Amino acid sequence: MADTRTITVTVNGKAHRREVETRMTLADFLRHELELTGTHVGCEHGVCGACTVLIGGASARACLMLAVQCDGESLTTVEGLSAAEQLNPLQQAFHDNHGLQCGFCTPGMLITLTEFLRDYPAPTETEVREVLSGNLCRCTGYQPIVAAALDAAKRIREGA
């Protein structure tokens, strides 16, 4: 008999109540229970950062969390970064700077940078590279992502 719990998790402002097996990771819960497939799974051991989400506004690796640990929590995933059909300033900066190629690492990058730019609105390039060191990318060589982050920081400071 599988060990299950009933949990209520708020994701992108919407509450979801589900009964889940306690061993189900948060990443799998988001992707397969809630069908929010924007959060990606790349390694399941906490290194690649593709699964990064915000839990109570703090970035965390969803592959290293159990869904049941998020009972009562408020999460933000990539799907919650902007209104439908829109791109927020950070996303727009990625678009303008060719900050993605295959797009698989992108949601994690966006979430990491959302937290970072909120807390550090005027970062240096070194600081951007350091905060991105928890997110792997194999397509871009990081350079355009860094450019997008600095560009987004500027736009947000200027009230985009």
Partner 1 sequence: MVEKSFGRPLKRKEDPALLRGEGRFVDDIHLAGMLHAAFVRSPHAHARIVRVDKRAALAVPGVHAVFVFADLPESVRRQTLPLLMPHPAIKQPFMPYALAKDEVCYAGEPVACVVADSRYLAEDAAQLVEVDYEPLPAVGDCRAAFDKDASPVHAGSESNVAARFPVKVGDTDRAFSGAAHVFREKIYQHRGGAFFIECRGAVASHEAPTGSFTLYAASQGSHRLKRCMLELFDLGDNQVRVITPDVGGGFGPKASFYPEYVDIAAAAMALNRPVKWIEDRRENFLATHQERDQYWDMEIAVDSDAKILGVRGQLIHETGAYVPMGIVLPWITATTVPGPYVIPNYKLDVVSVFTNKIQTTPVRGAGRPEAVVTMERLMDRVARELKLDRAEVRRRNFIRPEQMPYQVGIIFRDGRPVTYDSGDYPACQAAALEASDYEGFKLRQADARAQGRYLGIGVSNTVEATGLGPYESATVRISTNGRIVVYTGATPQGQSHQTTLAQIAADQFGVDIKDVAVVTGDTATVALGIGTFAARTAVNAGSSVHIAATEVAAKAKQIAAGMMECLEDDLELAEGTVRLKSAPDVGKSLREIAVKSIGMLGFSMAGGFPPGLEHTAHFTPEQSVYANGTHVAEVEVDIETGAVSFLRYTAAHDCGRVINPMVVDGQVVGGVAHGVGNALYERMVYDENAQPVSINFGEYLLPLATDVPHVDLVHLETPSPLNPLGLKGAGEGGTIGSIAAIVSAVENALAPFGVTLAEAPVSPQRIVELLGEHALGRTR
Partner 2 sequence: MKPAPFIYHDPRSLNEAAGLLASLDNARVLAGGQSLMPMMNFRYVMPDHLIDLNKVGELAYLRFEGAALHIGAMTRQRELEFSAEIGERCPILHEALAHVGHRQTRNRGTIGGSLCHLDPSAELVNVTALLGGTLHAASQRGTRDIPFAEFAAAYMTSSLEADELLAGVTLPLPDRRHGYAFVEFARRHGDFAIVACSALLGLDRNGNIKKAALALSGLGHAPVRPAAIERALVGQKPAGAAFKAAAMEAAKLDATADAYVTAAYRQHLARVLTFRALEQAAQRAKEQADG
Q: Does 135 bind partner 1 (CB under 8 A)?
A: yes
Q: Does 63 bind partner 2 (CB under 8 A)?
A: yes
- Segment 72 to 111, residues that bind partner 2, using CB under 8 A: none
**Contact present, 107 and 136 (Cβ < 8 Å):** no
- Give the contact letters, 4-23, x = binds to partner 1 (CB under 8 A), - = no: -----------------x-x
**Contact present, 146 and 97 (Cβ < 8 Å):** no
Please choose, from the candidates 38, 32, 43, 41, the residue with its C-alpha nearest in 3D space to the C-alpha of residue 67: 32
Q: Does 143 bind partner 2 (CB under 8 A)?
A: no
Stretch that binds partner 1, among 3-11, 67-75, 103-111, 115-123 (CB under 8 A): 103-111
- The distance of closest approach from Cβ of residue 52 to partner 1 in the complex, given in angstroms and rounded to an integer, is 12
Q: What are phi and psi of 58, to 5 degrees?
A: -110, 135
Q: Does 100 bind partner 1 (CB under 8 A)?
A: yes
Question: Of the candidates 12, 37, 69, 92, which one interacts with partner 2 according to CB under 8 A?
Answer: 69
Q: Which is nearer to partner 1, 72 or 141 (CB)?
A: 141
Q: Which is nearer to partner 1, 129 or 154 (CB)?
A: 129
Exposed e or buried b per residue across 97-115, where buried means at least 16 C-beta atoms within 10 angstroms of its C-beta: bebbeeebbbbbbbbbbbb
Q: Does 53 bind partner 1 (CB under 8 A)?
A: no
Beta bridge partners, 67, equal none
Question: Of the candidates 52, 59, 76, 77, which one interacts with partner 1 according to CB under 8 A?
Answer: 77
